[in-house]
Amino acid sequence: MPLFGNSFSPKKTPPRKWASLSNLHLLDRSTREVELGLEYGTPTMNLAGQSLKFENGHWVSESGGFLGDRRELQRLRKRNQQLEEENNLLRLKVDILLDMLSETTAESHFMEKELEELKQHSQRKK
């Protein structure tokens, strides 16, 4: 008798006689698709009031693309371009202001240092 033997050994289950109790596996492919609902069609979704469907790896409007919104798309692109130009101008202004602040701060420190030296020099003469 093994010291650490397996005292629990369940019986093996017998193999199944039938893979499925359903008759659907006996039907041809087209009938099975209809019965089981395997024909999904194209995925669709409704986003912001616009119905979209997935075709050839891209989401396309069900009305045939975004052609109806071409003017709106051009307006948005123009506005985006204007905002990018404005953003670049503002960044340039910030850089100029930071340079001016650095220059003014450096001049102020230089003047304070020069003033301290003059005070010390005048106290020595007295």
Tens-digit pLDDT profile for residues 28-76: 777 767 777 666 677 888 877 788 888 888 878 777 555 456 788 889 9
DSSP annotation of 24 reads G
Give the model confidence (pLDDT) of 63-119 as tens digits: 755 545 678 888 999 999 999 999 999 999 999 999 999 999 999 999 999 999 999
Residue 25's alpha-carbon distances to 19, 33, 40, 86, in angstroms, are 10, 11, 20, 66
Helix (H, G, I), strand (E, B) or coil at 17: coil
Residue 9 located in a structural domain:
no
pLDDT at 38: 64
What confidence score (pLDDT) does residue 6 get? 66
Residue 86 sits in the same domain as residue 120: yes
Q: Based on the domain organization, do 82 and 31 belong to the same domain?
A: no
Q: How far apart are CA 83 and CA 87, in angstroms?
A: 6
pTM for the whole structure: 0.43
Segment 4-12 shows an average pLDDT of 71
73 and 113 housed in the same domain: yes
Q: Both 88 and 107 in a single domain?
A: yes
In order of 69, 70, 79, 85, 101, the CA distances from 73 in angstroms are 6, 5, 10, 18, 42
Q: CA-to-CA distance for 99 and 105, rounded, in angstroms? A: 10
Residue carrying the six token digits 């469907």 = 53
Residues 57 and 69 occupy one common structural domain: no
Mean pLDDT of 18-37: 68
55 and 70 assigned to the same domain: no
Q: What is the pLDDT of residue 104?
A: 97
Predicted pLDDT at 23: 67
Distance CA 84, CA 16 (A): 69
Q: Domain range holding 31? A: 25-64
Domain membership flag for residue 58 = yes
